[in-house]
Amino acid sequence: MGVMTGVATTRRSRITPEREAELYTAVLDLLREVGYDALTMDAVAARTRSSKATLYRQWGGKAELVVKAVRCIKPGNTADIDTGSLRGDLLALVGREDDAVMEQNSALLRGLAMAIHTNPDLLQALQELLVEPEMKEFHRVIRRAVDRGEVRADNPALEYMVHMMLGAFATRALLEQRPPTRAFLTSYVDAVVLPALGVPTDR
């Protein structure tokens, strides 16, 4: 990646940031519609009214273009989540994106599922740009719950936060073919996540 990125950065200065954002949006849309393997540079060129030659000159190839597009996704803002209870914080976290954005992310996950296996750069970009920032927020919220005495610091479910959360998300997206709505995630947090963490719920 190192050399390619350097080259691409230099070359990218030829197009405006607005045009670049437009291209990345089109690439993300195509990923959701047809998936990584079926996405062609021809389709990107047609959708964005660019020439294929320009795309290749600018990004080098499909993998680079897709990684750059994924890097553009900004997770929702979570900086001021601090409700005073773990349940409140978790529900605020899972509820901060509206259902339409969740449907989009869900489609993106389906579109990239196979490709991340055969493209290590893509997996790394997804982890660094989407999963890690997301899990960092969950861990921040949980650290406060541990400090408050709500959760024991040695609770074994703590190391499975990503499996519980991303697991529910992936099962909905892949198997049930439904986006993980706020209602679903709220119910899941109450039924699974809080009991696993040893936090009493109303049930």
Binding site for its own copies (CB under 8 A): 34-38, 107, 109-118, 123, 127, 131, 155-157, 159-160, 162-164, 166-168, 170-172, 174-175, 177, 187-188, 190-192, 195-196, 198, 203
Q: Which is nearer to its own copies, 29 or 190 (CB)?
A: 190
In the three-class reduction of DSSP (H, G, I as helix; E, B as strand; rest coil), residue 43 is classed as helix
Q: Residue 120 contacts by C-beta under 8 Å, 6 or more apart in sequence?
A: none
Q: Which is nearer to its own copies, 141 or 158 (CB)?
A: 158
Q: 103: which 2 tokens?
A: 């449907």
CA distance 40 to 11: 21
Cα–chain center distance at 15:
26
Q: Are 73 and 28 in contact (CB under 8 A)?
A: yes
Provide, rounded to whole angstroms, the least separation between the CB of residue 190 and its own copies: 7
CA distance 57 to 11: 8
Provide, rounded to whole angstroms, the least separation between the CB of residue 11 and its own copies: 29
Provide, rounded to whole angstroms, the least separation between the CB of residue 126 and its own copies: 8
CA distance 116 to 186: 29
Q: Which is nearer to its own copies, 36 or 59 (CB)?
A: 36
Provide, rounded to whole angstroms, the least separation between the CB of residue 17 and its own copies: 30
Q: Where are the alpha helices (DSSP H) in the chain?
A: 2-12, 17-34, 41-48, 52-59, 62-71, 86-94, 99-112, 115-118, 120-126, 132-148, 161-170, 182-188, 194-196
Q: Which is nearer to its own copies, 35 or 75 (CB)?
A: 35
Q: Which is nearer to its own copies, 95 or 180 (CB)?
A: 180
Provide, rounded to whole angstroms, the least separation between the CB of residue 163 and its own copies: 5
Q: 81: which 2 tokens?
A: 């989540």
Q: Which is nearer to its own copies, 101 or 192 (CB)?
A: 192
Provide, rounded to whole angstroms, the least separation between the CB of residue 48 and its own copies: 22
